[in-house]
């Protein structure tokens, strides 16, 4: 077994709801870790456990063999990678950079091209599983980019997730994540409406959840978010505002290939209504609040 000293140094940029747990697993596995987050307090626990603090994403990348990012929006991804003092400007030739944010396939391709020009290997590797998957190291990881780079960092992915799939070239990880988000949007809508119907017709929603979740109606969202909904727990495992971003990207990409997705468009409009009513920082299960008062 390789010693901790033989492991590559990893820069981790973005230690929020999911990134904090993911970075913690890397520390637990012995990887030397450098961290940066716009709010230092969110990285304090990791620093206390031995991670080194960097003053910027670029500085973090300059100190690492592998840089992982999981930030908020495509604009944030573009800034941390392509700014004059960003990751690609500061990372060493031969380094590998991995964006695990859900972003646009087009931007993933741009980053890969810019990285190649500097002798850097880039992967787009968005994840699914939310805060629970991150905390339990059970994420699903969808990877696009150079196959040799994927092989080199596969052990890192295995620390973070249980299902790791190389989908092909640059941007294809992000396209796969769009398919994932389309499925989640429809599933969450169906879970919320099933529970709203159960309550409105006088059923015990908890008993209904137990009865149907083990059958063909069952899903990960039903099993994991159904109990949260019924307990009134709307805390974010994945923010509504970030989910809206994903749904808009998916609709834009679908339009670009001439595909109409009316179910996805409905989910997008409902989540936008939720955000407009102040729910942008809640979890995706908070879609329930649009129905709960009427159920």
What is the full DSSP assignment across 157-205? Answer: HHHHEEEEEEEESTTHHHHHHHHHHHHHHHHHHHHHHHHHHHHHTT--H
Same domain, yes or no: 221 and 116: no
Q: How many domains does the chain have?
A: 2
- Residue 15 domain boundaries: 4-169
Same domain, yes or no: 9 and 150: yes
Q: What percentage of the chain exceeds 70 in pLDDT? A: 97
Same domain, yes or no: 8 and 99: yes
pLDDT at position 3 is 43
The residue out of 169, 191, 216 marking a domain boundary is 169
Confidence at 128, pLDDT banded by 50, 70, 90: very high
Planar angle of CA 148, 137, 154, nearest 5 degrees: 10
What's the CATH code of the domain at 217?
1.10.1040.10
The values of phi and psi at residue 25, to 5°, are: -65, -35
CA 54 from chain centre, in angstroms, equals 22
Same domain, yes or no: 154 and 222: no
The residue out of 169, 185, 220 marking a domain boundary is 169
Of 132, 80, 131, residue with least CA distance to 107? 80
Structural tokens at position 161: 């997730």
**Mean of pLDDT over the chain:** 95
Same domain, yes or no: 119 and 134: yes
pLDDT at position 5 is 52
Same domain, yes or no: 144 and 202: no
Same domain, yes or no: 23 and 165: yes
CA 186 to each of CA 126, 190, 197, 273, 285: distance values in angstroms, whole numbers, following the listed order: 19, 6, 16, 16, 12
pLDDT in tens, 227-286: 999 999 999 988 999 999 999 999 999 999 999 999 999 999 999 999 999 999 999 999
Same domain, yes or no: 225 and 127: no
Give the span between the Cα atoms of 136 and 46, in whole angstroms. Answer: 17
pLDDT in tens, 37-63: 999 999 999 999 999 999 999 999 999
Structural tokens at position 26: 């890397």
Same domain, yes or no: 15 and 133: yes
**Residue with tokens 């974010």, as numbered in its chain:** 236
**What positions carry a catalytic annotation?**
177
8 A C-beta contact, residue 132 and residue 237: yes
CA 207 to each of CA 96, 127, 202: distance values in angstroms, whole numbers, following the listed order: 49, 32, 12
Confidence at 131, pLDDT banded by 50, 70, 90: confident
Give the span between the Cα atoms of 10 and 152, in whole angstroms. Answer: 13
Same domain, yes or no: 161 and 59: yes
What is the rounded average pLDDT of the residues 74-81?
98
8 A C-beta contact, residue 77 and residue 108: no
Same domain, yes or no: 102 and 152: yes
Confidence at 293, pLDDT banded by 50, 70, 90: low
pLDDT at position 295 is 47
What's the CATH code of the domain at 49?
3.40.50.720
Confidence at 91, pLDDT banded by 50, 70, 90: very high
Same domain, yes or no: 186 and 284: yes
Q: Is the pLDDT of residue 1 over 80?
A: no
């Amino acid at each position: 077994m390789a010693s901790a000293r033989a492991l590559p140094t990893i820069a981790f940029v973005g230690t929020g709801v999911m990134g904090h747990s993911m970075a913690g697993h890397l520390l637990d596995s012995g990887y030397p870790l450098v961290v940066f987050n716009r709010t230092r307090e969110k990285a304090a626990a990791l620093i206390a456990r031995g991670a080194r603090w960097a003053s910027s994403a670029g500085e973090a990348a300059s100190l690492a063999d592998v840089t992982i990012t999981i930030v908020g929006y495509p604009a944030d991804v573009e800034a941390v990678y392509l700014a004059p003092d960003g990751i690609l400007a500061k990372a060493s030739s031969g380094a590998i950079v991995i964006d695990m944010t859900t972003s646009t396939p087009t931007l993933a391709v741009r980053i890969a091209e810019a990285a190649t020009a500097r002798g850097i290997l880039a992967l787009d590797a968005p994840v699914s599983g939310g805060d629970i998957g991150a905390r339990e190291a059970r994420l699903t990881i969808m990877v696009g980019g150079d196959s040799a780079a994927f092989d080199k960092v596969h052990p890192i992915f295995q620390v973070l997730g249980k299902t790791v799939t190389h989908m092909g070239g640059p941007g294809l990880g992000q396209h796969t994540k769009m398919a994932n988000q389309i499925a989640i949007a429809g599933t969450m809508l169906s879970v919320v409406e099933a529970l709203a119907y159960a309550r409105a017709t006088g059923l015990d929603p908890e008993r209904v959840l137990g009865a149907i979740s083990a059958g063909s109606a069952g899903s990960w969202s039903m099993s994991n978010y159904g109990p949260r909904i019924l307990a009134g727990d709307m805390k974010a495992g994945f923010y509504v505002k970030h989910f809206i971003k994903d749904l808009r990207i998916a609709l834009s990409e679908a339009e670009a290939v001439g595909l109409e997705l009316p179910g996805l468009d409905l989910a997008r409009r409902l989540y936008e209504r939720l955000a407009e009513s102040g729910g942008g920082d809640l979890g995706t299960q908070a879609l329930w609040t649009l129905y709960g008062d009427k159920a």
